[in-house]
A = this chain, B = another copy of it.
Amino acid sequence: MPKIELSPTEALYPAPVVLVSSGNQDLANIITIAWCGVACSNPPTLTVSIRPSRHSNKIIRETGDFVLNIPTCDFLKETDICGTVSGRDKDKFSLCSFTKTASSVIKSPMIKECPANIECKVTKILSLGAHDMFMGEVVKVHRDTSILNREGNVDYSKAAPIVYNQGEYWSLGKRIGRYGFSAD
Determine the main DSSP class of A at the interface with B.
Answer: strand
Does A107 sit at the interface, judged by CB under 8 A?
no
- Let me know if B35 and A39 touch, CB within 8 A: yes
For this complex, into which size category does the number of interface residues on chain A fall?
A: 35 or more
- Let me know if A182 and B36 touch, CB within 8 A: no
- Let me know if B144 and A170 touch, CB within 8 A: no
- Let me know if A142 and B6 touch, CB within 8 A: yes
Number of chain copies forming the complex? 2
- Let me know if A45 and B10 touch, CB within 8 A: yes
- Let me know if B172 and A168 touch, CB within 8 A: no
Residues of A within 8 A of B (CB): 1-16, 18, 34-47, 49, 68, 70, 73, 76-77, 80-81, 83-84, 104, 115-118, 124, 126, 128-131, 133, 135, 137-146, 148, 154, 156, 159, 161-163, 165-183
- Let me know if A40 and B133 touch, CB within 8 A: yes
| Interface pairs A-B: 7 shortest CB-CB | A37-B37, A171-B173, A1-B146, A40-B128, A42-B130, A80-B182, A35-B38
